[in-house]
């Protein structure tokens, strides 16, 4: 019973006592009418609880961030008396939505909701609670969970993909031997030639027989294939507490930049390797199915983890001959990260930093060189406008 119901019951009791004390027919008639309203309200609310059944559904369980999800709440069952259903829904982004609808008769028009999905991720949506009340608001009963099907559905909100109007980087040698596009380099699987020794060359690569015969140190050269691969690293570590609030959430920015870069490289025929700093989500993209898998991985990737992007970048540098481009997406560039990327550019590999903001970090600005490309992304439209500077 609601607060209004208790007040109405108190009025009924006072009228009844007054009627018994005075014996007035008019007062007893008021008691009769009040009692009828009370019985009507209780009957309609109880009937609604007993006969109505609800089905929660989503027309498409996969939507892009910024689009609306189509949620449908259907009702079946015949009610001879009108009832008011008070509905509390869980929407994408863990938001609660309260609404009410009047239900009466046999056929009931389904309730449709079109909530916007502001953030990427895998969100639990569904019915949090249903209450059935009479049209006077005197009684309100919670509908048992057994009376509504599919009360919880997972909705996947994918990061958007923006078009990048640039030319992909040229191929560079990699250590995997292939028969096509062969080039010679200082490491690989197939011996090709020799060259004069240079300071810093490993001793194991010296061609000793030729060196003894010519009395000059020579180093082996190898055949390698010119495969094109790009690396995209996403910093999923915890953000500093003082990080400013921006129009574009960092997790949304990072995954949408990664998705856009991966699609750009993949469409141009390059192999793409996506890394997260927690090492939980790494994927190689060579085919359309692998890109779809990577896009799904980016939708569900976890952020604010105990991880270090420096360790991931350091590991990639150890295999840098595989890559023609290294794009690092981070919320807070550090001098250590910039130093690592400087080593990348020294080895003739394109390096870039993609971050939300640098205006309050003058020290980092001073460390950045022209060889390290930078893109500041604070709003969705910045991705298509500025991300091309990094490829």
Nearest to 115 by CA among 101, 128, 103, 98: 98
Q: What is the pLDDT of residues 97-124, one digit of tens each?
A: 998 989 888 888 888 989 888 889 998 8
Same domain assignment for residues 364 and 247: yes
Q: Is residue 181 over pLDDT 50?
A: no
Q: Is residue 188 part of a domain?
A: yes
How many whole angstroms from its chain centre is CA 261?
16
- What digits encode the pLDDT tens for the residues 43-80? 899 988 888 888 888 888 889 998 988 888 888 888 88
Phi, psi of 314 (to 5 degrees): -60, -40
Element (H, E) at 73: strand 71-76
166 is a domain residue: no
Answer with the one of 204, 225, 246 that is the final residue of a domain. Answer: 225
Per-residue pLDDT at 258: 92
Residue 89 pLDDT > 70: yes
Mention every residue, 6+ apart, whose C-beta is less than 8 A from residue 114. 68, 69, 70, 71
Pair (111, 143) in one structural domain: yes
HSE-CB of 358 using CA atoms within 13 angstroms: 18
Q: What mean pLDDT comes out for the span 285-308?
A: 88
Q: What is the domain count for the chain?
A: 3
pLDDT band at 3; cut points 50, 70, 90: confident
Instruction: Please give the mean pLDDT across all residues of the chain.
Output: 82
pLDDT at 185: 44
Quote the pLDDT of residue 32: 87
Residue with tokens 């952020």: 303
Report the alpha-carbon distance of residue 12 to residue 20 in Å, rounded. Answer: 12
Cα separation, 374 vs 201, in Å, equals: 33
- Judge if 141 and 250 occupy the same domain: no
- What does the alpha-carbon distance between residue 94 and residue 133 come to, in Å, rounded to a whole number? 26
234: CATH: 3.40.50.410
- Could you tell me the end-to-end alpha-carbon distance of the chain, in angstroms, rounded to an integer? 65
C-alpha to C-alpha distance for 239 and 362, rounded to whole angstroms: 19
> What was the pLDDT predicted at 33?
87
Residues 376 and 275 in one domain: yes
382 and 296 within one domain: yes
In a domain, 171, yes or no: no
Place of tokens 């094109």: 228
pLDDT range class, residue 241, cuts 50, 70, 90: low
SS3 32: helix
**Tens-digit pLDDT profile for residues 339-362:** 888 888 777 788 889 988 765 555
| Same domain assignment for residues 135 and 218 | no
Q: Do 246 and 220 sit in the same domain of this protein?
A: no
What's the sign of the alpha-carbon dihedral 72, 76, 81, 87?
negative
Quick check: 290 pLDDT over 50? Answer: yes
pLDDT at position 329 is 92
Spatial contact of 190 and 177, defined as CB atoms under 8 Å apart = yes
Answer whether residue 168 is part of any domain. Answer: no
pLDDT > 90 fraction of the chain, expressed in percent and rounded: 13
Residue 175 lies in a domain: no
Percent of the chain with pLDDT over 70: 86
pLDDT at residue 220, as a whole number: 82
pTM of the model: 0.73
**CA–CA separation, 164 vs 73, rounded Å?**
40
pLDDT of 387 over the 80 cut? yes
* Closest C-alpha among 140, 146, 31, 7 to residue 86: 140
Predicted local distance difference test score (pLDDT) of residue 160: 92
74-78, 128-132, 178-182: the lowest-pLDDT one: 178-182
Decide the pairing of beta strands 71-76 and 111-113.
antiparallel
Whether 373 is covered by a domain: the verdict is: yes
Residues 6+ apart with CB under 8 A from 136: 4, 8, 37, 41
349 and 251 inside one domain: yes
204 and 152 housed in the same domain: no
Q: Which of 25-39, 92-106, 166-180, 242-256 has the lowest mean pLDDT?
A: 166-180
Which residue segment(s) compose the domain that 213 sits in? 182-225
Tell which wins on pLDDT, 371 or 106.
106
Task: Tell me the two tokens of residue 307.
Answer: 């991880």
214 and 238 belong to one structural domain = no
Which whole number is the average pLDDT over 187-206? Answer: 73
Tokens of 215: 């009395």
Q: Is residue 167 part of a domain?
A: no
User: In whole angstroms, what separates CA 181 from the centre of its chain?
Assistant: 38
Residue 233: which residues within 8 A CB-CB, separation 6 or more?
A: 275, 276, 277, 309, 312, 313, 316, 326, 327, 328, 329
Q: 361 and 291: one domain?
A: yes
pLDDT-derived band of residue 137, with 50, 70 and 90 as boundaries? confident
Overall average pLDDT of the 13-34 stretch: 84
Same domain, 65 and 100: yes
CB neighbour class for 251 (10 Å; exposed up to 12, middle 13-18, buried from 19):
buried
Confirm whether 174 is domain-assigned: no
Average pLDDT value for residue range 381-387: 87
pLDDT of residue 159: 93
Domain CATH for 71: 2.60.40.10
Q: Among 101, 123, 158, which residue terminates a domain? A: 158
């Amino acid at each position: 019973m609601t607060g209004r119901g208790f007040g109405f019951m108190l009025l009924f009791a006072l009228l009844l006592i007054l009627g018994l004390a005075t014996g007035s027919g008019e007062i007893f008639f008021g008691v009769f009418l009040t009692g009828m309203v009370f019985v009507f309200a209780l009957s309609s609310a109880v009937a609604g609880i007993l006969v109505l059944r609800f089905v929660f559904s989503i027309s498409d369980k996969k939507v892009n961030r910024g689009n609306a999800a189509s949620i449908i709440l259907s009702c079946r069952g015949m009610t001879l008396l009108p009832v008011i259903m008070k509905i509390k829904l869980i929407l994408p982004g863990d938001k609660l939505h309260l609404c009410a609808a009047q239900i009466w008769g046999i056929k009931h028009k389904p309730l449709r909701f079109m909530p916007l999905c502001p953030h990427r991720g895998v969100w639990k949506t569904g019915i949090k609670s249903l209450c059935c009340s009479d049209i006077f608001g005197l009684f309100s009963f919670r509908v048992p969970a057994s009376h509504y099907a599919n009360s919880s559905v997972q909705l996947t909100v994918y990061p958007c993909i923006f078009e990048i109007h640039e030319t992909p980087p040229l191929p560079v040698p990699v250590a995997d031997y292939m028969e096509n596009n062969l080039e010679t380099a200082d490491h690989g699987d197939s011996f090709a030639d020799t060259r004069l020794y240079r300071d810093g060359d490993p001793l194991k690569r010296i061609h000793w027989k030729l060196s003894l015969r010519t009395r000059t140190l020579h180093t082996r050269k190898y055949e390698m294939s010119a495969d094109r691969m790009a690396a995209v690293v996403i910093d999923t570590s915890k953000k500093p507490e003082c990080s400013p609030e921006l129009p574009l959430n960092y997790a949304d920015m990072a995954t949408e930049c990664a998705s856009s870069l991966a699609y750009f490289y993949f469409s141009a025929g390059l192999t793409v390797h996506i890394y997260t700093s927690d090492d939980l989500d790494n994927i190689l993209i060579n085919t359309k199915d692998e890109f779809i898998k990577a896009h799904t991985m980016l939708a569900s990737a976890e952020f604010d983890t105990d991880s270090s992007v420096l360790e991931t970048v350091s590991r990639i540098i150890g295999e840098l001959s595989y890559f023609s481009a290294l794009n690092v997406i981070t919320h807070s560039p550090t001098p250590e990260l910039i130093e690592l990327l400087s080593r990348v550019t020294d080895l003739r590999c394109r390096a870039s930093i993609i971050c939300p903001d640098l205006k309050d970090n003058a020290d980092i600005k001073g460390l950045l060189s022209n060889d390290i490309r930078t893109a500041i992304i604070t709003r969705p439209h910045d991705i298509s406008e500025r991300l091309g500077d990094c490829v």
